[in-house]
Amino acid sequence: MTTDNWTDIKEACEQVLPRDVVACIDRVRGSVHAESHLIAILHMVQAANGYLSREAMHAVAQLAQVPLAKVTGVATFYHYFRLHPRGKHMINVCLGTACYVKGADKISQRLMSDLGIGFGETTKDHMFSLESTRCLGTCGLAPVIMVDDQIHGPVTPGDVSTILDKYTKKEKAHKVAAPVQG
Ligand code: FES
């Protein structure tokens, strides 16, 4: 059942959600299993926006006509859903066995200290996000970290600032080289 101001609600939600997500929700709204489609819908939102903002989850709940608590419940239950924007560069520290025995915990501590964030967090300047992972399939290089899609290894705690600097400098160079708008 839709409300009298359904058109306004829908228009507001369409400002927040990608068009294909709105179309997907339109198809499943009102079905007895509407809630069971939430995972797929939230995946689509995250793929488009990079994370699940509070506004996006609210729009999904309104459009799908399911309680907001149900949407946030799904989003927080599954650890692959991100509730905060990711940094420009994603750092994954391998905590698999081979890396762990070769000092991955010291690498993690150094990264946390240099970046001032913990796992699952993003630096204030949105430059880096930090995550942990299990075996990146390059155990021969242990301990390894992966920045975006590039593997670094073997890494020592002393290498951490050099690696971070490389990405920070690349970013600065990119900004300088960017054409002036207007
Ligand atoms: S355990 Fe780290 S790459 Fe395999």
Which atom of ligand 1 is closest in space to residue 104's alpha carbon? 2
Q: Are 130 and 164 in contact (CB under 8 A)?
A: no
Is 142's C-beta closer than 6 angstroms to any atom of ligand 1?
yes
CA of 112 to the centre of ligand 1 (A): 20
Per-residue pLDDT of the chain (182 residues; tens, 9 = 90+): 455 688 888 888 888 998 889 988 988 887 777 777 899 999 999 988 888 999 999 999 999 989 999 999 999 998 788 888 889 999 999 999 999 999 999 999 999 999 999 998 899 999 999 999 999 999 999 999 999 999 999 999 999 999 999 998 877 776 666 665 54
What are the backbone dihedrals phi and psi of residue 163, each rounded to the nearest 5 degrees, phi first?
Answer: -65, -45
Is 98's C-beta closer than 6 angstroms to any atom of ligand 1?
yes
Peptide bond preceding 154 in cis form (omega within 30 of 0): yes
CA of 158 to the centre of ligand 1 (A): 20
Strand order across the 150-152 sheet = 121-122, 128-133, 89-94, 145-147, 150-152
Is 138's C-beta closer than 6 angstroms to any atom of ligand 1?
yes
Q: Are 144 and 137 in contact (CB under 8 A)?
A: no
Q: What distance in Å separates the CA atoms of residue 67 and residue 113, rounded to the nearest whole number?
A: 40
